[in-house]
Amino acid sequence: MLDAIRGVALCGILFVNIIDMGGPVAMDRPLAPPSVGDPDWQIWSVMHLFLTGTMRGLFSLLFGVGLLLFLGNDSGTDRLRALLRRLVLLLLFGIANATLLLWPGDILVTYALAGALAVLCHRLQANALFGLVLVTMLLLSIWGALQAPGIRAADMVYSAPMLAREMAARLGSYGDTLAYMSRVSWVWANSGFLYVWMGDALLFMLLGMALYRSGWFDPDGGVDGVTGRLLAIGYGGGLSLRMLQLALVWPEGGAPTALSASVDQPARLLLTVGHLTLLRWLWRGGCQSATAQVLGLMGRMPLTLYLAQSAIGAVIFSGFGLGYWNSLSWPQLWGVALLILLAQALFARLWFSLFAYGPLEWAWRWGTYGARPQLR
């Protein structure tokens, strides 16, 4: 079940990331002014309602579960050292993704740093972890509300010089693109955004740990009686808050308001819980179709497929590749994402018919334990 949910999150993340891969990397909205009839803004609205932040939330939540599964009942020094080695290796994978693979939107660096903080809480029980979730969500919401009034609609859109500068870099040689994207990664990593992203990831890692401690992921965990209520609260509350955000930011050209920013994390948390509850209910209800099985295979090699998405995106959109940067509409970009995911699903199925681990997962495991695992 965990692998299948991770596979869903991996697919959803690409539908969000493909927009910045195929267009201006620092814009989260279409270039044109908001319009209900604009297909780009239609995709933006659907993405905002269901995917933005929630797929990353699922991934972060499962990362927190993975930390506890890795430690198991043995939280001694040796096991903690192995976990820290694992996080250091993840940090290095993330640095390579943010530079060599040309993806400043990398999340692995953030996960490695937030994961180190989450490890400090691994001995806490469910109630204490849920308390930390609420405190972290409150702090992030306050920060967002304080920052929002300083962001104008004009700040959300590239100026002509900015667009020309990024176009020259991203449609230039590999060296041009590497220099530009590495600089963007460096600026973001040395700004306050990094701390916000760490808090963002930590929030959901703690939520995953709390759910795990409460028995939510147990095969026969006693939560089926409240599944309907969790779905109603998650989707009802989350979608209501997301629709409120849309109503607030649409007249502002996509720029946040204090209110829309303050409800962002609660909306994201509720929707993520709704997604998680739905997927768990479907799985436990016997919905283990061929599609679910393939998603499970994809979820067994998330590091390989996530980094491959960056590499594939670089080839498709960069000047040293096919050069499609900023030339496709958002619906077309989603079509590209779908083709990439279908190819990755086929790859995962073929790979696991021969091997026990994904290629990078195998290397990651080798580095974690210091012994080469059997690949076949």
CA distances from 92 to 89, 97, 207, 359 (A): 5, 9, 25, 16
Task: Report the 10 Å Cβ neighbour count for 215.
Answer: 12
Q: 46-57: per-residue pLDDT in tens? A: 999 999 999 999
- Which residues in 333-342 are b (16+ Cβ under 10 Å) and which e? bbebbeebbe
What is the tally of structural domains in the chain? 1
C-alpha 268 chain-centroid distance: 12
Residue 220 has pLDDT above 80, yes or no: no
Range of the domain at 20: 2-369
CA distance 224 to 208: 18
Summarised one tens digit per residue, pLDDT across range 105-152 is 999 999 999 999 999 999 999 999 999 999 999 999 999 999 988 888
Asked whether residue 376 is assigned to any structural domain, the reply reads no
Phi, psi of 371 (to 5 degrees): -135, 135
Question: What pLDDT does 5 receive?
Answer: 94
Residue 110 within a domain: yes
Residue 353 has pLDDT above 90, yes or no: yes
Residue 201 half-sphere exposure toward CB, CA atoms < 13 A: 22
Segment among 71-85, 171-185, 200-214, 349-363 with least mean pLDDT: 71-85
In the chain, % of residues over pLDDT 90: 76
Q: Is residue 231 a part of any domain in this protein? A: yes
Name which residue leads in pLDDT, 48 or 75. Answer: 48
* Mean per-residue pLDDT, 35-44: 93
Given this model, what pLDDT does residue 371 score? 86
Residue 375 lies in a domain: no
25 confidence band (pLDDT: 50, 70, 90): very high
Structure tokens at 157: 């859109």
Q: Report d(CA 178, CA 166) in Å as an integer.
A: 12
The region of weakest confidence among 11-15, 150-154, 173-177, 194-198 is 150-154
374 located within any domain: no
Tokens of 90: 């993840």
Residue 28 within any structural domain of the chain:
yes
For residue 318, being part of any structural domain is answered with: yes
pLDDT tens track for 234-293: 999 999 999 999 999 888 888 889 999 999 999 999 999 999 999 888 877 666 677 788
Whole-structure pTM value = 0.94
pLDDT of residue 7: 95
CA atoms of 85 and 72, how far apart (whole Å): 17
Q: What is the full DSSP assignment across 81-120?
A: HHHHHHHHHHHHHHHHHHTTT--TT--HHHHHHHHHHHHT
User: Which among 93, 69, 71, 95 has a CA at the least distance from the CA of 83?
Assistant: 71
Q: What end-to-end distance do the CA atoms of the chain give, in Å?
A: 23
Residue 329 in domain:
yes
Give me Rg for the CA atoms of the chain.
20
Q: What is the DSSP string of 225-267?
A: GGHHHHHIIIIIIHHHHHHHHHHHHTTTTT---HHHHHTHHHH
